[in-house]
């Protein structure tokens, strides 16, 4: 038998403990990273849902009369507020897109107010959305921005393997004139 040095056994035990500690830290770090990635993914899906909900909300506003609107909600609708909160907390890298969406929101709401004032002052009816070129242009640009934000969010959460199929707003469908059909927004497929 070989003589065992007095320091060999404690050295082996120390090396084993150090290796076990390094492995434990590595496994813990992987677990924490996985949990954070899952949380980010869940928040990304919440952001996507909020953006889609906002898109539907804005379409619904077109046909409401001026008196049926809450001014505070028009300034900051709940889905948009939720999207802003999620983006601020989890996706600050795409905050410039949110600024552009808020600017587009302001333009659409301003246009809707103007149209409501014209309807009230002239007593005219609501023009179908598919005939309203300015509305189509404003909403088309807004939808493109929302689609870009959703695509960026999907990239950030690692869900970009499937192509995004747009929010799919059909401006003729959201018009209050049932049975009216016409082309979608200008320049959209």
As a whole number, the mean pLDDT across the chain is 80
Share of the chain above pLDDT 90, in %: 36
Q: What is the pTM of this model?
A: 0.71
Sequence ranges of the domains in the chain: 8-156
Q: Tell me the two tokens of residue 187.
A: 């320049």
Q: What is the DSSP letter of 189?
A: -
Exposure b/e, 82-99, CB count within 10 A at least 16 = b: bbbebbeebbeebeebbe
Q: Tell me the two tokens of residue 183.
A: 């082309």
Distance, in Å, from the CA atom of 42 to the CA atom of 100, rounded to the nearest integer, reads 24
| Confidence bin at 32 (pLDDT 50/70/90) | confident
- Report pLDDT for 45: 94
| Confidence bin at 125 (pLDDT 50/70/90) | low
Q: Which residues lie below 8 Å from residue 126, measured CB to CB, with a gap of 6+?
A: 63, 119, 175, 176, 177
């Amino acid at each position: 038998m070989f003589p065992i040095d007095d320091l060999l056994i404690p050295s082996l035990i120390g090396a084993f403990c150090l290796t076990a500690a390094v492995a434990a830290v590595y496994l813990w770090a992987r677990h924490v990273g996985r949990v954070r990635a899952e949380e980010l993914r869940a928040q990304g899906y919440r952001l996507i849902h909020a953006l889609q909900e906002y898109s539907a909300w804005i379409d619904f506003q077109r046909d409401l009369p001026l008196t049926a609107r809450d001014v505070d909600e028009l300034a900051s609708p709940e889905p948009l507020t939720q999207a802003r909160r999620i983006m601020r907390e989890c996706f600050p890298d795409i905050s410039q897109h949110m600024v552009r969406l808020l600017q587009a929101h302001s333009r659409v709401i301003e246009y809707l107010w103007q149209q409501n004032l014209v309807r009230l002052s002239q007593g005219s009816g609501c023009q179908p959305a598919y005939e309203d070129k300015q509305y189509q242009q404003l909403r088309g640009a807004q939808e493109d921005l929302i689609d870009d934000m959703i695509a960026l969010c999907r990239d950030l959460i690692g869900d970009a393997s499937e192509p995004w199929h747009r929010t799919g707003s059909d401006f003729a469908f959201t018009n209050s004139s049932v049975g009216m059909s016409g082309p979608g927004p200008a320049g959209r497929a």
